[in-house]
Amino acid sequence: MPDLIIKSMVVLFGCLIGSFLNVCIYRMPRSGKVAPEDFLKISGSKEHSDKLWEDLISSGYIDEDGYVEKKFKKLRKKNQLAKFELAGAYAKSKKQIFRILDKSCELSIDKPKRSFCPNCQKQVLWYDNIPLLSYLALGGKCRFCKKPIPFRYFFVEFLTASLLLVVYSFFGLSVQFFTYGVLTCALIVSTFIDFDFFIIPDEITLGGLIVGIVLSGIFPQLHGASSWLDSLIKSGLGILAGGGSIYLIGQFGEIIFKKESMGGGDVEFLAMIGSVLGWQMALLIFFLAPFFGAGVGIFARLTKGAEIIPYGPYLSLATFIVILWGNNILKFLFYF
């Protein structure tokens, strides 16, 4: 098959995959989560809303981040509103509160099935959901409510197609292309979620880590290994080197600054990356990422007074560079 046709297919599928990544970016951090603002209409004031929030936490229906707990999910399964107990101040509103929590449980990657406008909640028509083209045709606005559609949706589709094309250009149709393509998609999702929420979902980190181990066992060539056992050992070392390096620097930073300096999600994230790329590449990423994050961190500190920045995006950038040029960088370093 001519290379031009393959590249065209990579771009086409990259746009389609990018559309799905947009769904992941929006829904993953919101799945099973409720915001305090959702209770303002019921409570009447921010103060009462905060009290309701604390009551829901103390009752075991949500955690401190607003994620719905198992206690409520058990009531939800059989719609046991009668057993939904809160303080007397909210007894009259418990039906509305139950519905808010119930609705938060419905959002996931596969529910609802169809895409919807975050502003008016109306389903997006199929011909308004064509990657890149629909955004341009609609002028970046929802067909129904006319409110702007974030440019990020267009950008993620374009970025995914472009990066997958770059990965193909380096590795051709190979095991490495498909594996690194999947990893690249995980990097994209993690980057945008971390920017918005300062978290990297377990579905990406822990789920990706399992996938990385499995792929390492099936395809030893990912680690340049001669057997599946040798490949699994190298994958395990990658997990230890990636997760361990971030964990240790986080502990060191906590001692120096007397507060948490590295999130647990970052530890799991680099461990997941190490399961695919091995220990040498994981350590290389560990040392490269600060060069990208430091400048941004200093700028954010000086201009906005920000004390923390999301670190996942810089791990992602370093990882993509290492996927493409990691071996060359190591050869250069060892040469000197």
Q: Identify whether the C-beta of residue 154 lies closer than 8 Å to the C-beta of residue 135.
A: yes
Specify the residue for token string 């046709």.
5
Alpha-carbon Rg of the chain, whole angstroms? 23
pLDDT digits (tens, 9 = 90+) for 240-251: 999 999 999 888
- Statement: the pTM of the whole predicted model exceeds 0.85: yes
CA distances (Å), origin 188, targets 68, 87, 152, 173, 252: 26, 43, 12, 21, 29
Q: For residue 271, give both structure tokens.
A: 């461990």
The three-state secondary structure class of 69 is coil
pLDDT digits (tens, 9 = 90+) for 87-137: 888 888 999 999 999 989 988 998 888 899 988 889 999 999 999 999 999
What is the distance between the alpha carbons of residues 70 and 302, in angstroms, rounded to a whole number? 42
* Span 191-211, average pLDDT: 94
CA distances (Å), origin 205, targets 208, 236, 288: 5, 15, 20
Q: Evaluate the CA torsion angle 116, 119, 125, 127 in order and state its sign.
A: negative
